[in-house]
């Protein structure tokens, strides 16, 4: 199969891992890089052997023959770059969060639909090996009807050290990690009927919230509690692991520390370790995240080649963003957000 030609827009902290993930799939070829600071694009191009760099996105789109555009710039530029690409009938892959506001995300989805081009989201959290294996265990039905689950992402990792811009965000943990965690909740347990959220700022030198708790009543009738924190020193403080506990009528499922998956039925526990694969280009501290980039992008590349359906489309990701921004509304008003807001 002929490799898909793409350009990567943005060469910041996450871009090198995103680019490495694309190349790991073996299905794509990066032919150009864009960054508003040209020297940063040149540095990444030299590292990965990309021949052409630009500091003007329109010039790139006019001169390069592409099969899709991958947008990994600051979130406030996503809509503009998406529309520039879609105007040229070019499929778009955009980094999460899709947009800084729900209205902008909705506009991006609508614009691409009107242009007749795919809009896909590089949402890789649900592709982590422990989460995929938990989903398979859930789908087996062995633990029976599920009535409650907790998704637990709480640690004290100094995330602001390598991404200092996060300190300046007015909305932080729900847009940064909440997009991942709430998307994983939807992947595992379906859609929410209602949501109630609280937020807190613990770090004194940041603008946004670094702690959030979301309680969701799902369409299935079960309850899902999502806990997020970058301010919680704890015994099992294993960034960036996500712990999950699922209660069913006949059993209990969990992802625990060090990627251990446990299934307890009739008092008997079966345990297996769902360790992420290792890639030489990945930062060992981020192994479970970086390894999830590859199957996510493999799915997107195969979708763009017409071989399978994409999981994380723009339209699907809008449902996640309605939870994210619904959580902010709930926390601000101290009220439950109803289904009519989450599914207009």
Q: Are 160 and 167 in contact (CB under 8 A)?
A: yes
pLDDT at 234: 87
Shared domain check, 93 and 131? no
Q: Are 75 and 94 in contact (CB under 8 A)?
A: no
**Which residues of the chain are modeled with pLDDT < 50?**
none
Please compute, for residue 316, the number of CA atoms within 13 A of its CA located in the half-sphere on the CB side.
18
Q: Residue 281 to residues 16, 127, 274: CA-CA distances in angstroms? A: 9, 18, 21
pLDDT at 272: 98
Q: Are 209 and 199 in contact (CB under 8 A)?
A: yes
Rg of the chain taking only CA atoms, in angstroms: 20
- Cβ density class 176-211: b for 16+ within 10 Å, e for less: bbbbbbbbbbbbbbebbebbbbebeeebeebebbbb
Shared domain check, 324 and 210? yes
Element housing 154 (H / E):
strand 146-154
CATH of the domain at 262: 3.30.360.10
- Residue 238 falls inside a structural domain: yes
Shared domain check, 226 and 114? no
Shared domain check, 136 and 61? no
Q: Which residues contact 160 (CB under 8 A, 6 or more apart)?
A: 166, 167, 203, 206
Range of the domain at 109: 4-122+298-304
- Partnered with residue 6 across adjacent β-strands are 30, 68
Shared domain check, 77 and 165? no
pTM given for the model: 0.96
- Residue 167 falls inside a structural domain: yes
Angle, CA of 166, 237 and 100, to the nearest 5°: 25
- Measured in residues, the chain has a length of 344
Shared domain check, 101 and 28? yes
Shared domain check, 153 and 268? yes
Q: Report the C-alpha gap between 136 and 93 in whole angstroms.
A: 27
- Residue 156 falls inside a structural domain: yes
CATH of the domain at 84: 3.40.50.720
Shared domain check, 60 and 113? yes
Shared domain check, 335 and 196? yes
77-113 residue pLDDT tens: 999 999 999 999 999 999 999 999 999 999 999 999 9
- Residue 228 falls inside a structural domain: yes
Shared domain check, 86 and 136? no
With tokens 């807001």, the residue in question is 341
Shared domain check, 200 and 102? no
Q: Write phi, then psi, for 13 (nearest 5 degrees).
A: -55, -45
Number of domains into which the chain is organized: 2
- Residue 286 falls inside a structural domain: no
Shared domain check, 216 and 146? yes
- Residue 282 falls inside a structural domain: no
pLDDT at 315: 98
- Residue 283 falls inside a structural domain: no
């Amino acid at each position: 199969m002929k490799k898909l030609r793409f350009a990567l827009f943005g060469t910041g902290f996450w871009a090198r891992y995103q680019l490495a993930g694309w190349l790991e799939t073996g299905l794509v070829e990066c032919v150009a890089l864009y960054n508003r600071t040209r020297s940063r694009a040149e540095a990444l191009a030299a590292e990965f052997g990309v021949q052409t760099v630009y500091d003007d996105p329109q010039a790139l789109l006019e001169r390069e023959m592409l099969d899709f555009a991958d947008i990994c710039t600051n979130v406030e530029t996503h809509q503009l770059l998406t529309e520039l690409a879609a105007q040229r009938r070019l499929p778009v892959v955009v980094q999460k969060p899709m947009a800084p506001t729900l209205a902008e995300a909705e506009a991006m989805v609508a614009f691409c639909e009107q242009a007749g081009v795919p809009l896909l989201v590089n949402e890789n959290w649900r592709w982590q090996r422990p989460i995929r294996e938990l989903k398979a265990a859930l789908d087996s039905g062995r633990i029976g009807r599920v009535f409650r689950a907790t998704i637990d992402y709480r640690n004290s990792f100094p995330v602001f050290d390598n991404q200092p811009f996060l300190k300046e965000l007015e909305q932080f943990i729900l847009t940064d990690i909440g997009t991942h965690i709430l998307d994983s909740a939807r992947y595992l347990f379906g859609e929410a009927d209602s949501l109630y959220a609280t937020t807190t700022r613990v770090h004194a030198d940041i603008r946004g919230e670094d702690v959030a708790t979301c309680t969701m009543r799902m369409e299935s009738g079960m309850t899902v509690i999502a806990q997020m924190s970058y301010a919680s020193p704890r015994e099992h403080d294993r960034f960036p692991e996500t712990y999950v506990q699922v209660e069913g009528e006949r059993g209990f499922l969990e992802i625990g520390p060090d990627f251990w998956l446990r299934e307890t039925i009739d008092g008997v526990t079966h345990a297996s370790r769902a360790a992420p694969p290792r890639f030489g280009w990945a930062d060992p501290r981020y192994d479970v995240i970086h390894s999830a980039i590859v199957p996510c992008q493999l799915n997107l590349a195969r979708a763009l080649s017409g071989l399978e359906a994409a999981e994380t489309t723009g339209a699907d990701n809008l449902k996640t963003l309605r939870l994210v921004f619904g959580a902010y509304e709930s926390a601000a008003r101290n009220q439950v957000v109803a289904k009519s807001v989450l599914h207009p």
